[in-house]
Structure 1
Amino acid sequence: MTAAPPLNGSVDDWLAWQLTLHATEMDLGLERVGRVADTLGVRDLAARCVVIAGTNGKGSCAALIESMLREQGRVGTYTSPHLWRYNERFRIDAEPVSDAALCDAFCAIEAARGDTSLTFFEYGTLAALWLFVQAGVDYAVLEVGLGGRLDAVNIVDADVALITNIGLDHVDWLGPDRESIGYEKAGVMRAQQPAFCCDRDRPRVIDAHAKSLGAKLGCIGEAFDITQTNGRWRFVCGEKTIECDEPPGVITDNLAGALVSVQAMTGAWPTTATIDKACREQAALIGRRERVDDILPIIYDVGHNAEAVAMLVCDLVNEPTTGSTHVVLGMLADKPVEAVISNLEKVADRFYFASLDGIGTRGLMAEVLARRSEIDAPCFDHPRAALEAALDAGEAGDRVVVCGSFLTVAHARRQSPS
């Protein structure tokens, strides 16, 4: 193993080195990362902390909660993956941290870990906690990377746990069905602490696990609910009712989960002005059913499993175009390719398959997508090339959809953030 980068090493130097530090890309478990966290002194955050687990909607809920909490104090937010820059994973008061701050965090972790081997994600999780301690944030919003029970984020005892939609993803790691996966997600709950679930068809194991722990579980449709009528939504939790114009681009069940989490964190309900601001900010997130007007309208969506793509398809059906829909698709090998393509076939007039094998460690070649889909469609060696072909082929009234992976969106999208 090569030595760690020098004190003046770049973020890219550190990240390249971290990829060599552990024998495998993923190694679920809390013992190693917890031991280093204890040495660093970052396991017990002074900040009030919410941990968000689930298959889809984690990033949206994190953004909503982050925005609403900023009305109450300093907020540190940790999410993954990123689109363009690793720094995007770590935000303090909604701003990505600097390269210098990240390198300081990496140096502190290296000084603390001794001979303990860490995965890339574990190293990043420890960096997030160290950064938030150094910044003295009042609130920490932590998004689980994979699962929950054995994910590195779960070394922190959450003051509030939020479980979003449960779908079939990472089945090789989490189990073959929603009950197995739900059990892993439920592992972020803590005894005598509030926990919320905004999946209307939640696996029953979540209730059973909450009962066995003594967690204070509240679920959408029971402890709280949100409904939509004539362009407005109405949220109800006990005697509290909040009404507002329907937020464009926001999944209201995610909003309901964010609202109860913020109230549990702060003891107060956000104002309608605060909620409206949070919704507008979340709707503007890059790559989340994001529309960009180019030669043709382009919809970018990072959804990479059947449930997420089904929501995208629902949106496309509800907002039909007068012409054709061109779908640019690139995916990772461990994702449900056939189920995703089956959903997209409901709206796609033409596919353009993009290779990710030269971009991500688990990326599929375009030809593999074509073979598994049994669709006669052109194949391209890069998402940008596939997008350019779709734009060239399109006519007035058409639209282009770019989806299937964070990597597909990141490498196809024309404009990078400033």
Structure 2
Amino acid sequence: MKKKNVLHINTSLSMWLKYVKKLNIKNNHCGLENCFFIAKKMDLLNFCSFVFIIGGTNGKGTTCFILERIFLSSGYRVGLYTSPHLFKYHERIRINGKYLSDIEHTCAFFEIECFRKKLSLSYFEFITLSALVLFKKCKLDIIILEVGLGGRLDATNIVNSDISVITNIGIDHISHLGFTRSNIGYEKAHIAKKNKYIIVGEKEIPDSFLQVIKIKEAILKKINLDWWITYEKNNWNYLSDEINLHYLPYPKVSLENVSTALTALFHSPFNINKNVIIDTIKNITLPGRFQILSNDPKVILDVAHNPHAVLHLSQKIKNIKSIGKIYAIMGVLKDKDISGMILNLESLVDYWYFIPINRDRGINSMSQLTNILPKNFNVLENFKSAWYSINVKVKKEDMILIFGSFYLVSEAIRVINLNI
């Protein structure tokens, strides 16, 4: 008789992650009942720390990172939970800006498994609970939680947060959230909490979103209603009824995300020096967010993986003065609006290369692509093949744009760094 494999604290992190991923197969419930029940037993619903929860279609990670940098630079103790990761699992949970050791993660996993028993949890629910366990063990001033998907049924939404943030509302994850902005807005609005601020960086809010906010009795603060951005040649201004900041440096990340993060900051009880804000805005960069690896030819990486993000990406590309050709390497998961993504870049790109993503949600069949991709495309088996194929043809004045899934961008960074 085969002996049952029992995981323990000293089991390797890789083994634990394989085990937790398999829990997805057992997860047949549609709500957060099991996640909430376990969190309540483990006292993970309420924190002494001030909690931000950040949702939206795009820019969640950027907004989280901005807040983390500002608070850390101001001397606060900060816990950050974000997803997905580019290279390794450790990127998902940071305490005071640092990754944790394998043993710290496996101890948290073991603790959850002891409470879970036979209750089913999804992968994301399990690792979210592990983040909360790790945060609970530390005396943190601030916790920042990035919503994984939607909001209403996202594991991060079990926590009684103090400020909720929605960066924007675009079409994405349609098989889970719905096919319209109304459906998606409804799902995202549920991270709002009664009598607490919800900061929204979206200029056009669906009625469904507003109805949820009204029912929940949350306090809405919205861009172009409660705060504004004005543009100058070499700087920009943040304006609101409560606070005005002039002559701010242009960031390397989305200005809308910066202003949304600042609004969340200004509605929290923390006082931050203006110089800390300026230094953070000036120096903040994130891997995979319009990351320029070289200039001759220009190589740009971006994790834009839905039409809203790709539209923003196309606007940035238009601002780059280039007289050469654009080679696009694209790889996305099958639950994405691929045709919408292509449409927002088609007029700019000269040559397309599509890379299948070898994951459960990845596209790995040509039959799935025939009616979607433009005529001037190539499908290659992996990023390395596309990279070498393009480098035979590319000229110094050309551009290589690599965009889509985190999986593709992660692979691209590894391959290119080995060859630079």
Judge same fold: TM > 0.5, yes or no.
yes
- Aligned-residue offset at 1:377: 2.1
Name the aligned partner's letter for residue 56 of structure 1. N
Q: Name the counterpart of 1:84.
A: 87
Q: Name the counterpart of 1:302.
A: 303
Give the unaligned 5+ runs of structure 1: none
Q: Work out which of the residue numbers 185, 188, 200 in structure 2 matches 1:185.
A: 188
- Once residues 410 and 5 of structure 1 are traced to their aligned partners in structure 2, the CA distance between those partners, rounded to angstroms, is 29
Name the aligned partner's letter for residue 259 of structure 2. A
Q: Name the counterpart of 1:56.
A: 58
SS in 1 for 2:372: helix
Q: Name the counterpart of 1:392.
A: 392
Q: Summarize the alignment of residues 106-125 of structure 1 with structure 2, pairs less than 5 Å apart.
A: 106-125=109-128
Name the aligned partner's letter for residue 156 of structure 1. V
SS in 1 for 2:25: coil
- Aligned-residue offset at 1:366: 6.9
- Once residues 101 and 174 of structure 1 are traced to their aligned partners in structure 2, the CA distance between those partners, rounded to angstroms, is 34
TM-score by length of 2: 0.93
Instruction: Determine whether 1:30 maps to 2:29.
Output: no
% of aligned pairs identical?
Answer: 31
Q: Work out which of the residue numbers 67, 70, 77 in structure 2 matches 1:68.
A: 70
Q: Name the counterpart of 1:278.
A: 280
User: Could you give the per-residue CA deviations for residues 293-341 of structure 1, whole angstroms, max 9, x where no partner exists?
Assistant: 1762211001100000000010001113121111001111000011111
SS in 2 for 1:20: helix
- Once residues 26 and 244 of structure 1 are traced to their aligned partners in structure 2, the CA distance between those partners, rounded to angstroms, is 52
Q: Name the counterpart of 2:160.
A: 157
Q: Name the counterpart of 1:408.
A: 408
Q: Name the counterpart of 1:290.
A: 291
- Once residues 402 and 42 of structure 1 are traced to their aligned partners in structure 2, the CA distance between those partners, rounded to angstroms, is 39
Q: Name the counterpart of 1:362.
A: 361
Name the aligned partner's letter for residue 330 of structure 2. L
Contact in 2 for aligned 1:328/1:390 (Cα 8 Å):
no
Moved more, 140-149 or 206-215: 206-215
Contact in 2 for aligned 1:4/1:14 (Cα 8 Å):
no
Name the aligned partner's letter for residue 257 of structure 1. T
- Aligned-residue offset at 1:260: 1.5
Contact in 2 for aligned 1:25/1:119 (Cα 8 Å):
yes
Give the unaligned 5+ runs of structure 2: none
CA distance 1:106–1:415, shift in 2 (3 Å) = farther
Instruction: Determine whether 1:228 maps to 2:231.
Output: yes
User: Could you give the per-residue CA deviations for residues 183-212 of structure 1, whole angstroms, max 9, x where no partner exists?
Assistant: 111100011111110101121222222222
Aligned residues between the structures: 412
Q: Name the counterpart of 1:262.
A: 265
Name the aligned partner's letter for residue 102 of structure 1. H
- Once residues 93 and 116 of structure 1 are traced to their aligned partners in structure 2, the CA distance between those partners, rounded to angstroms, is 32
Q: Work out which of the residue numbers 203, 207, 212 in structure 2 matches 1:204.
A: 207
Contact in 1 for aligned 2:229/2:236 (Cα 8 Å):
yes
User: Could you give the per-residue CA deviations for residues 81-120 of structure 1, whole angstroms, max 9, x where no partner exists?
Assistant: 1111011000112222221211111111111112111111
Contact in 1 for aligned 2:151/2:187 (Cα 8 Å):
yes
CA distance 1:260–1:26, shift in 2 (3 Å) = farther
Contact in 1 for aligned 2:26/2:120 (Cα 8 Å):
no
Contact in 1 for aligned 2:203/2:223 (Cα 8 Å):
yes
SS in 2 for 1:386: helix
SS in 2 for 1:179: helix
CA distance 1:376–1:370, shift in 2 (3 Å) = farther
